[in-house]
Every structure is written in structure tokens, then in C-alpha cells.
Amino acid sequence: MDERTRADVERAEAAIVEHYPRLVRLAYLVLPPSMGRHRRVLTAHALVQRALPRARRHRPDGGLPAQRGPAAETGYDLVRLRALRLALAYEGRPGRGLPVMPQVWGLRLFPRAGGAEELALDQALSAVPASVRATLGLWHLEGLDEEAARTVLEQAGAPAPDAAQRAAEQLDRETGAGAGAMLNSGEFDPCTVQTRPTDLLRRRQRLRAVAALVAVVAFGAAAAGVWQGVRDRPPRGETTAEQALDPARLVRTPNDQWADTSRVDFTAWPVRGRQAGDQELLGRALRVWAAPPADARITATAGTSTRPPDHPPQLLYAGLIDAVMVVVFHDGERLVRYAEPEDATPTLHFARVDDADLTTGAALVIGRGNGWMRYLLAPWISEVTTRDLLAPAAPPHGLHVAPDGVTDRILAPPMPGSGCGRWPVARFRPSSRVVANAGHADDATFLLADLNDLVPVHLRYVPPPSSGGTPAAGPHEATGAPALRSWARTACSLGSLRGAGVRSVTDWAFAEQRLPEGAGRATWVCSRADTWRGPGSVRIQFLPPAVRPTDPGRIAGRAANTAACSPYGPHVVGQVRWRAASGRWYLLAAGSREVGGVDATGGVRATGNENTLAAPAGPAAPATVTGRLRNGAPVPAFGP
């Protein structure tokens, strides 16, 4: 218990009163976005109010005076540190109970909505740890420099303060120089909120239930004998919340519905697993979801809510997987995987899957271990094989699937720090029944890759434009030889997307370029990762001629929360410094099909009237590269 003198406590109280909005804004920023805005608002207020320390008891008369020491921290520094420490404690604990105060009945509270830039920043913040959000708050809200912020982070118990500051610097670069202004906007102000009612029907049902209970208790105080009869009488009806926790009300899709529906996604999955009828197991899983115990482990993909069920969910699976009892639910927006190891802590994993389709709804990770995982397949998958992206010429390997749709163990991609000698993926072939209905070609196979989320990632490929300059076709499945050769050189960059809630990654070969001094042809690839929550990120990769087919390309630029390399951002320009075999350095640049010229200014001055540019330049000579569309509009090049 952090106890202080009476004077310390009075100074701390004055600091809280004077700087209350500032402290609440900092706590709100640090708390996990997965809590939801209403719960974050209430929790931020509660944590700041709990930041007031206790006064230590008076020392007995005749006691020695306190020894002199370092200068006492100010009242504000004290309460800021305590509020920050309390907010950081919620990291990895989205199910942590709400503090006792304050309480709001019948209303939902939300900060005022910001614009597109504030929304993009909020989404970017949801993908980073609490220590990174705390760093940004100390920089932009508190005005601390790096050294002072690091000291506060250490005192608050934030893990790896140096790594948090590096990640914060990266996020600052990706979101632009206006992050400080946006963090001070109404989007992040939990003291200026809007109110909306909760579920009015559910509230009315609860009020009726409370009124009925009060009446029963009052009546029972007067007539204990009648109370016994009332207690034994079954309830007239369940509230919506109670219905959501009733295993008998779980939605169970018929076995063959997937073959006769226009919505081929998780809603078409039938129930599977030997324990699908185990009401005790299902009820236990629903109760843990609704009110996770203090020791439960909770994982949520970036941008995914961990709120309790508000209606009876769909049951997808219940069974034993590698000595772990597993139950999987689908509530229309999320997958929820409940795992119950023997004599161990239960775990919950949440993942957004709204707007899934034939490919992104084709499988989910039903079990995972040290270096391996298993898929549960959609009922429309007729065949699944595995292959290594780093062995593009090797044939795929067959994979056994149990009658309940669970695959044998599959090697998982290497973890960070363990090298990149392989990158296993699974190739899926859908049933001809859904392929014909969906209008796909005869060979509708597709690749999915595990990135440590509950749902695998769909891999696609867009070939380079033809020599005649005609546009390439839209995204192809990454199963053909050109696609596999491209992915062999970019696969290892997938590791940076682990746990980010990525839905699909597309390799777009947007340009080809002849290298100076007869060094062959290079390919420029934009790898775009789209997330389930909406925003996408891109990496521009430069692929020079390779000695081995798996030689990785060079990262030539990147951006987060961008429409680049999508139908809504089809124009792109990349730049890189390249050294020829002679030892001479060049500035290389290339643009997508509509780019008709490229200009370099600054320390390197060059102009080209095509979509590529190669100019002699030192390895560190400053240069600004800009592409020109055929209509004259400029396209700034991505930087590293």
C-alpha cells in the first residue's frame, strides 16, 4: 500500500481536482481499446479517483522525525504515476473487473467522434501495447521529453520502456506530425462525452424482474409459508442476457445449409465435435465468456471487442483437441474460442470475422502447440494440402482431415528470432457445389497462411502489367507459378503482421525495371495487408535478380492506415538506392501503370519520361522522388 503523509495526500487531492480532465485523458489513452469506449470512459474516471494515496498513520509521540532524503515528488507527479500504473495493469487483462465507482445506469457514454484522421490514429493505437500508448501520452499530453518519459514508464512498471519508445517513434512517423493535436481532440476526451440509452427492451425486462423480486421478498417477510411456494415456482421468462447464456438456445446450423445458401461464411458452418451435446461444458464456456474469472487468459485480435454475448451465439464446435476441451462460438461478428486444459486456466480468444466469404471463412485455428497448429475446415472444403512458400517449385503435400473437419498437425511459421528457413501455408480446394454457385473458375484453389491469429490470412497476387502497357487483371489466387515465385521472395516479411488481425495480403507486382550496367530486370512489389477492422498497411519491396529463388527483396518503403495499392489508391511510386557490380551507386525509382514520368530533386537531380528512373547517386545523397501521372497529377514516392 502506497501511504503518504497528510500533507502529501492533500497535495495529491488538489492536483487531482485541478488536473482531473488531463489525468483522465491519459488513463483513457493507456487503457486497452478492446474494452469498448463506454467501459474505458468509466474505468479511466475510476482509476484517476483511485489514484489518491492513503495517509500514513501518525507516528507515536516522542518518535524520531523522518530522515531527510531526495526532494519529494509533486502532488501531480504522484497521482499521474499512480493513475498510469493502474491503467497499465489492464494490459492483457481486458476481462478485468470494472472498479467500484463511478457507475452509470441505463446510459452508454462515448467521447465525441472525430474525423478520419482521429479514427485512423485510434485504430493504430489499438494495435500497439499499453506501454506504447503510455509513451505517446507522456510525450504529447504531458509534454515530457524522452528521458523524463522513460523514467515515468520505469516507475510505473511498464515493460521494456526503450522498446516502447522506439515503437512510439515509429507510430508517430506513420501517423504524421499531427498526433499530438489529435490526442488532444474530442475523440480522446473522456470528460466530454455523448450519451445514448442501452438496450431499452432488455432494461425494461430487468426492471420488471427487479420489481418482481422486491415484491416477492416483501411478501415473503409477511408470510414465510407462501414464500416457499413462490421460490419453487419456475420463472415466467428469461431476460435477453440470460437467454444468451443458455446452452439450450445456442444456434445450430443444419448440416447441408452451406450448399444451398447465398451467404457462404461462418453462418453456414454446421455444428461439429463429439461434445456438441455436452450442456455442462457449453454452459461453462458461455459463463466464462460472460464473466471471465480473474485467472482466465484472454486474447483478442486487434480491434476486436471482448464484450459478453448479448444474444444466443452460433455453436461451431465442441470437442477434445490434443487433451484440451475446445468450444468455438460465432456471434455474427466475432469468433470466440474457449479452451479448457485439464487442471489449468481456461483461455478465451476473440477474433473479428464480419463480412467473411468463401476464402476467409474457410478455416479457423482449432488447436495450437509448440511449432504446430491444426485447422478446423469449413464444410465446403473438399481438399487441403500444404506447401512451403520458400520452396515454390516443390509439389504440395497431402493433409489428412478427420470426419469432424479437424486436420492433422501442420507446421507453424517460424517465430520471431528463429530465422526464416520455411514458411508453411495450406492450399484449399472448395467443393464444386459452391464453386459453381459462386461463378468461380474450375481451379478455385487458394492459399491461407497462419499469422498467429484465430483465422488464417488469405494470400493473393497481382501480376505485373504486360509489355504493351495494358492493365493487369485483378488479384489472382497465389497458387500459380508466377505468384509462388513472387511469394518465395516476400514471404518472410509476413512475420511482422502476426497478431494484427490481418484478413488478406496481396503481392502486387506494379512495375518492372531494367537495371543499369546490364544487370538484368528488377521487379517492384507492393505487399498490401488488409485487416478485418478496415485499415490497411503496405510495404514496397524491390526484387533485383536473385542468386536463389528465395532471396528476400529489400524494403523500399512502407505506410500504415493507407489506401495505397488498393482499388482506392491505385497509383504508387517506390525508390531505393542500388549498388551495381562495378561498385557504382544509383537512385532507382519506379511507378505503377498510370505513372508517365519520374522526377528526382534535391541532392540528386534527374528526370525521366517513363514510369522508371535510374540516376547515378551516392548512397546517402538526399533526394525527393515524385512521379507524374499521365494527367499531370503528382504522386510522392514512398520512403523507407
Q: Give 460-489 pLDDT, tens digit per residue.
A: 999 998 644 444 557 899 999 999 999 999
As a whole number of angstroms, the distance between CA 463 and CA 486 comes to 9
User: With 90 as the cut, is the pLDDT of residue 63 above it?
Assistant: no
Strand pairing class (54-55; 3-4):
parallel
Mean pLDDT of the chain: 83
Grid coordinates belonging to 305: 471487442
User: With 70 as the cut, is the pLDDT of residue 213 above it?
Assistant: no
pLDDT attached to residue 221: 44
Least confident piece of the model among 1-5, 132-136, 238-242, 567-571: 1-5
141-157: average pLDDT: 88
Q: Who has greater pLDDT, 241 or 70?
A: 241
- Per residue in 489-499, pLDDT tens? 999 999 999 98
Least confident piece of the model among 83-87, 238-242, 517-521, 578-582: 238-242
pLDDT band at 115 (very low <50, low <70, confident <90, very high): low
Q: Who has greater pLDDT, 106 or 553?
A: 553
Residue 534 CB contacts under 8 Å (≥ 6 apart), including other chains:
123
- Per residue in 587-627, pLDDT tens? 999 999 999 999 999 989 999 899 999 999 988 889 999 99
Residue 52 CB contacts under 8 Å (≥ 6 apart), including other chains:
9, 12, 13, 16, 79
Listed by start position, the domains of the chain span: 3-57+70-196, 206-237, 247-356
Portion of the chain with pLDDT greater than 70, in percent: 81
The secondary element (H helix, E strand) that includes residue 79 is: helix 75-88
Neighbours of 109 (CB within 10 A): 17
As a whole number of angstroms, the distance between CA 571 and CA 611 comes to 11
- Highest mean pLDDT pick, 135-144, 146-155, 202-211, 391-400: 391-400
pLDDT attached to residue 227: 36
As a whole number of angstroms, the distance between CA 473 and CA 462 comes to 7
Could you tell me the pTM of the whole model? 0.65
User: With 90 as the cut, is the pLDDT of residue 51 above it?
Assistant: no
pLDDT attached to residue 170: 81
Rg (CA), the chain: 29
pLDDT attached to residue 92: 63
Q: Tell me if 333 sits within 8 A of 157, measured CB to CB.
A: no
pLDDT attached to residue 64: 36
User: With 80 as the cut, is the pLDDT of residue 95 above it?
Assistant: no
Strand partners, 327: 318, 338
pLDDT band at 425 (very low <50, low <70, confident <90, very high): very high
Q: Who has greater pLDDT, 187 or 147?
A: 147
Burial of 251 (0-12, 13-18, 19+ CB in 10 A): middle
pLDDT attached to residue 122: 74
